[in-house]
Amino acid sequence: MLRADDAIAPMPMGIRGGVALPAALAWHDLAAISIGAMVFEPMDIAAAKAAVGGLPIYLSTELANAPSGSQPAAQISVRQGHAVSLAEMLAGMRTMSEAPPAATSSKKRACQLMTAKIGLIGLGNFARRNIIPGINRARDLDLAAIYDQSPDAVRMVAEGLPPGVVCESVDELVRRDDLDLIYIATPSAAHVELVEAVIAAGRHVVCEKPFASNYAEAARLADMARKAGVVTAVDHEMRYSAIYRGMKNLLAEGYVGNVVMASVNFSTDYSVNPYYPATYYWNFGSIRMHTGGVMRQAISHFIDLYQFLFGSIEARGGYCATMIKQKPELIESVSDQGERVLSAGAMRAVDADDAIALSGCLPNGAPASIAATWSAAVTTGTRWLIQGDEGVLSYEGAVLGGLWGDSLRGARRGETLADLPLPAEQYADMRPTAPGYMGGLIAAQLEDVVAVIDKRSEGMFATFESECAVWKAMEEWDR
């Protein structure tokens, strides 16, 4: 019987969703293991193997290398957390000598127990740092296809992936009939054409924001998706944090009473810090016609949060400024060691906003405001203040890009501000101030999308429909 420290020595290197598995892999090296659709702690693998009569277990990516004629009892998949109990896992094991069923196309997907397959278009920094870890973490979701027009970006993600995951073109990926949904994570200028192709292929779609370049385009794509009967989502993953779910719950419960004023300030260094190449260099983030600028690229998240928390925000007035007039062009190259190198080229004129002050009103007529810049020398982060006639909510976040903090504070009439209890995070090990938090939020969002596809949930993610209201407000503010 295997122990927690036993190693799988015979297995060559494999990859599952971008996580490397060394040849001598100790069980304790894995965050969790899945058998079929079940996920459980590595320490339970011995009991699981015993329960299936000692039949061999292979990495899902190494089935092709299994001895001829052998039948694996289960497939081992790297996940990052979220165990069910061994009892629950064993209860779900019926005939573990049979391989789990393959997912069908999105049009035919009906079995809620199947693992959904996702394709990813765009393998840039955000995808590598957040989206791919999120896909790896999400329960019952496999990264089955990837594409990027940059060979270097593909190389950084694809090394060790099983055959058939890397696609040679967008068309090849979109036409694959084994994918349930497709995630578009390219620069925003390419979003419209890609969204159209995915919807035309009848695939459910998740797209980075902004998914369109103006309100009319957003409305057209939303209508196209509605007629095609596909589920749509826009990556406003902050909805899934305990902070904003807790804030929404408290507002719904009447904690502050009737809201009389709401404001959010956001100040960060995205535009002056080379850690963020899309905004530091002259790139799509600097070009207005490519939906660049702090309002469309960053503050659209907060406009969406106003919708999530209050139902809507109606634009009433505002000012958008470009304070950094020039930036160096982004030059990409590959070092002798095969590593991607970014460097500064010639200075180019910037026409997208980097500092804004916006005013609006909530459904009850209360004033609301957003003030933001991503050209700050010092990141002070996010500051929400929601005042009501019975109480107040206050939230400050200054880490992980200036978005996150540890607590939501509040007080009712006659009380002193204090930390308030929050809902549990979607995953037990998630912390708003710890690396990997955004990936966890994306994982929760993707699980919700799959649940809606399977008709197990109504979903709380942003859709193309809700994003139309975001675009309408942004166009009003940017007249």
Q: Name the segment(s) of the chain with CATH classification 3.30.360.10.
A: 242-424
Question: Is the CB of residue 215 less than 8 Å from the CB of residue 280?
Answer: no
pLDDT, one tens digit per residue, over 239-259 is 999 999 999 999 999 999 999
The pLDDT-based confidence of 100 (bands split at 50, 70, 90) is: very low
Task: State residue 157's pLDDT score.
Answer: 93
Task: State residue 127's pLDDT score.
Answer: 96
Question: Is the CB of residue 72 less than 8 Å from the CB of residue 115?
Answer: no
Q: Is the pLDDT of residue 40 over 70?
A: no
Query: Using CA atoms, how far apart are residues 297 and 241, in angstroms rounded to an integer?
Result: 20
What CA–CA distances, in Å, run from 67 to 29, 62, 77, 102, 307?
25, 11, 19, 22, 55
Of 109 and 325, the one with more pLDDT: 325
Query: Using CA atoms, how far apart are residues 304 and 389, in angstroms rounded to an integer?
Result: 24
Mean pLDDT of the region 150-159 = 89
Task: State residue 338's pLDDT score.
Answer: 73
Lowest mean pLDDT segment, chosen from 16-30, 38-52, 263-277: 16-30
pLDDT, one tens digit per residue, over 301-322 is 999 999 999 999 999 999 999 9
Percent of the chain with pLDDT over 70: 76
Q: Buried b / exposed e across 37-76, counting CB within 10 Å, b at 16+?
A: bbbbbbebbeebbebbeeeebbbbbbeeeeeeeeebbbbb
Q: Is the pLDDT of residue 79 over 80?
A: no
What CA–CA distances, in Å, run from 341 to 277, 335, 344, 346, 395?
11, 6, 10, 16, 38
Question: Is the CB of residue 206 less than 8 Å from the CB of residue 184?
Answer: yes
Q: Name the segment(s) of the chain with CATH classification 3.40.50.720.
A: 104-237+428-479
Task: State residue 329's pLDDT score.
Answer: 94
Q: Is the pLDDT of residue 464 over 60?
A: yes
Q: Which fold has domain 104-237+428-479?
A: Rossmann fold (3.40.50)
Task: State residue 96's pLDDT score.
Answer: 27
pLDDT, one tens digit per residue, over 211-223 is 999 999 999 999 9
Q: Is the pLDDT of residue 7 over 70?
A: no
Task: State residue 400's pLDDT score.
Answer: 87
Of 126 and 60, the one with more pLDDT: 126
Q: What is the mean pLDDT of the chain?
A: 81
Task: State residue 340's pLDDT score.
Answer: 75
Mean pLDDT of the region 103-110 = 42
- Partner residues linked to 233 by β-bridges: 206
| All residues at 6 or more sequence positions from 69 whose CB lies less than 8 Å from its CB, including other chains | none
Task: State residue 142's pLDDT score.
Answer: 95
Query: Using CA atoms, how far apart are residues 315 and 380, in angstroms rounded to an integer?
Result: 25
Q: For 229, left (φ over 0), alpha (ψ -120 to 50), or beta?
A: left
Q: Is the pLDDT of residue 204 over 60?
A: yes
Q: What is the CATH number of domain 242-424?
A: 3.30.360.10
Q: Is the pLDDT of residue 138 over 70?
A: yes
